[in-house]
Structure 1
């Protein structure tokens, strides 16, 4: 067997594989002998079928199969030994009038080669690193939400603003009949609110769904309709009141603090506010980190300029899916995926040059930490090491989970690397300001 490579340019090459009869004949002969031993052909005893008949019936199929196996194995070994960094997979070149009746064969494959480039982490315009903080309004809203959650509902005879009204929404034509509870704080506009105020149990109100709630998504819950239908729904519904309650907020006392955080962990409203700010900061940090990762990715793609074997990749995309694509479809798919491919190459280079690989011990520790976090959410604050190890072993025996966790861990390693090695413009702002800035 002989393998040679011709470099067309820096990004494209053709590999030629010559396979001689001596390369495949011994394996083909052995397989055909095994076929002969086990073949059941009418008129012949098992193991006594003439070899000529076995070759006639099975020879070509076995030959093609073994040559293809040998070809794939030798090509993979060649790419590994030559340390060729290829994009996609080798594409076999079409050969007209290929003849399997010959004894020696030649195959050619097109290769797309990974470009040579350097990654410079020093950006002309530094990326913004957001520090999101909980403002006083957010903290107070969170406290009110806690008080509502742990408060009481007191039955009433007549509806007033701020009440919670239970009842049934109906519209026969649309097939709507849904029992629900409406918080009047979420009803939109004075006109709608006035229809509720002063009503009593047993009263039926006629309401328009359009602009009934501050958020159209409330209609999904209260009417039992699908998401797509909720937007701009404009029908009349009847709401028959079955119960009226006033929400009495829970007192901000030690009993409530202990329910929320454990005994004597929080003792004053001031400490409660600080605790809410701390918890919010942890949640905001995840969003800030994700935005930082997105912005760094975009900046590195923009700054790191290199060519790709575009025509090869478009041709490869045509063949790689379950269904072959047309040239136009492959071109469109390439344009959609080019930016992602560029970052994969940039990311791969950063990982390799800075030894950021994920090993099994890293992965096990990462999985164990995730397990502890999930168990803590369900009140299991101090699981045994054996329990953690057993759960981690089960998770890491699943290849899909290993892949998912490895990607998460590598993302964290890259983020930490960027934080340590890049300069950022830091900006402190509230969550509302952050949302406005990101989605402006």
Structure 2
């Protein structure tokens, strides 16, 4: 057997595999001998079927199977030994004159070669946002917490601060749904005026159109889908069943302990510091996600290299379960090119900076992730053995293991980028961050 490679250009090559009868005959003979032992042919005892009959019935299919096995194995070994960095998979070059009745065979495969890449992390300008929780946001969160943990007090009639519970109805549309709302949910002064001063048992005459500030609230209140209420214009009745308001909780130790646990916070100053810390921790996750996306876009834009486009289009046409037409494959290439470019850039960055993930790191990351999830459900101190057992079960699922590995690699790369890249840093409030980033 002989394998040779011919470079067409820097990104394309052809591998030729020559297989002679000597390469496969011994294996074919062994398989046929085993077939003979097991064959059930009328007129012959098992194991006594003439070899000529076995060869006639099975010889060609066994030979084709063994040649294909030898071809795949030898091609894979060649690619590994030559350390060829290829894109996609080798594509067989079809020969209309190929003949399986011959003894010696020649196979050719097209290869798409990965390009040489130089990644310069200093190119381009990237803004790194540092999101701060300002006094206005902290004030609002303190108020929200006071209301969330406050005392619900019944009211005789609807006022500006009321929560109103009742039943929306429309007999023709089959609507009869219980809902709770506040005057802040109601759109327009005329609609709000219908509620103010109403008492339990009163029935209000309303219209669905322009009743709420948001379609989501209207849909939830009527038990409908959001897409079904956008143009909805029907009369409604609303029978009031309960009226109440929330008396804000006092900023005392009982309140602090209820929110953060006993003794964690012991003053309003510490409360505000804790809210600021927690909020900025959440903001950091969003800022980091934006930063990683911005870095990705910057690297793609500022790292130039060619790809074996024609080969990749041809490969995409055959890679899926269903073959694609040339036009479909070209369209698929256009959709996937950007992602492929970043995969190659990311691989080069990881290689240049020795970024790796071993199993112990992945297991530790999985344990940390599981610990966070358990804490959300009130399990604050799980045993190490329990965490490790859950992590091992999670990692046995290949999809979950791959997802966690991707997250861990992204975290490592982001930390690397933060060390290596010079950013234009900008301190903003969360509101300004949203305005600038999600314009």
Please report how far the alpha carbon of residue 176 of structure 1 lies from its aligned counterpart in structure 2 after TM superposition.
Answer: 3.1
Q: Distance in 2 between matches of 1:219 and 1:56?
A: 77
Partner of 1:65: 65
Q: Distance in 1 between matches of 2:30 and 2:230?
A: 70
Name the TM-score, length of structure 1 as normaliser. 0.95
Name the TM-score, length of structure 2 as normaliser. 0.96
**Mapping of 1:124-203 within 5 angstroms?**
125-203=124-202
Comparing 369-378 and 200-209, the one that deviates more: 200-209
Partner of 1:8: 8
Q: Distance in 1 between matches of 2:192 and 2:257?
A: 37
Partner of 1:371: 370
Q: Distance in 2 between matches of 1:156 and 1:436?
A: 40
**Residue 299 of structure 2 corresponds to residue 306 of structure 1:** no
Please report how far the alpha carbon of residue 419 of structure 1 lies from its aligned counterpart in structure 2 after TM superposition.
Answer: 0.3
Please report how far the alpha carbon of residue 60 of structure 1 lies from its aligned counterpart in structure 2 after TM superposition.
Answer: 2.4
Cα deviation 1:157-191 (Å, max 9, x = unaligned): 32222211112223344443322211222222212
Partner of 2:246: 247
Comparing 173-182 and 281-290, the one that deviates more: 173-182
Partner of 1:229: 228
Any idea what SS the aligned residue of 2:9 has? coil
Partner of 1:86: 86
Q: Distance in 1 between matches of 2:99 and 2:156?
A: 93
- The structure-2 alpha-carbon separation of the partners of 1:161 and 1:90, relative to structure 1 and needing over 3 Å to count, comes to same
Cα deviation 1:80-118 (Å, max 9, x = unaligned): 110110011111111103211111111111111011121
Partner of 1:263: 262
Comparing 169-178 and 283-292, the one that deviates more: 169-178
Unaligned runs of 5+ in 1: none
Q: Distance in 2 between matches of 1:197 and 1:143?
A: 27
Partner of 1:276: 275
- The structure-2 alpha-carbon separation of the partners of 1:424 and 1:199, relative to structure 1 and needing over 3 Å to count, comes to same
Say if 1:217 and 1:231, in contact at 8 Å, map to a contact too.
no
Partner of 2:32: 32
Say if 2:215 and 2:226, in contact at 8 Å, map to a contact too.
no
**Mapping of 1:318-329 within 5 angstroms?**
318-329=317-328
**Residue 379 of structure 2 corresponds to residue 380 of structure 1:** yes
Q: Distance in 1 between matches of 2:225 and 2:57?
A: 60
Partner of 1:52: 52
Cα deviation 1:223-269 (Å, max 9, x = unaligned): 22224334454433332222222222222211010011111211222
Partner of 1:349: 348
Please report how far the alpha carbon of residue 31 of structure 1 lies from its aligned counterpart in structure 2 after TM superposition.
Answer: 1.6
Cα deviation 1:353-391 (Å, max 9, x = unaligned): 111010112112211221222222223323222222222
Q: Distance in 1 between matches of 2:130 and 2:253?
A: 32
Please report how far the alpha carbon of residue 44 of structure 1 lies from its aligned counterpart in structure 2 after TM superposition.
Answer: 2.2
Cα deviation 1:297-341 (Å, max 9, x = unaligned): 111111110111011111111111121111111111111111111
Q: Distance in 1 between matches of 2:226 and 2:52?
A: 69
Say if 1:216 and 1:232, in contact at 8 Å, map to a contact too.
no
Any idea what SS the aligned residue of 1:186 has? coil
- The structure-2 alpha-carbon separation of the partners of 1:376 and 1:110, relative to structure 1 and needing over 3 Å to count, comes to same
Q: Distance in 2 between matches of 1:59 and 1:201?
A: 91
Partner of 1:95: 95
Partner of 2:292: 293
Partner of 1:19: 19
- The structure-2 alpha-carbon separation of the partners of 1:396 and 1:236, relative to structure 1 and needing over 3 Å to count, comes to same
Q: Distance in 2 between matches of 1:173 and 1:91?
A: 64
Count of paired positions: 439
Q: Distance in 1 between matches of 2:29 and 2:209?
A: 79
Cα deviation 1:17-75 (Å, max 9, x = unaligned): 11111112222221222122112223322222222222232222222222222111111
Partner of 1:332: 331
Q: Distance in 2 between matches of 1:298 and 1:78?
A: 36
Q: Distance in 2 between matches of 1:423 and 1:158?
A: 60
Please report how far the alpha carbon of residue 412 of structure 1 lies from its aligned counterpart in structure 2 after TM superposition.
Answer: 0.5
Q: Distance in 2 between matches of 1:299 and 1:239?
A: 55
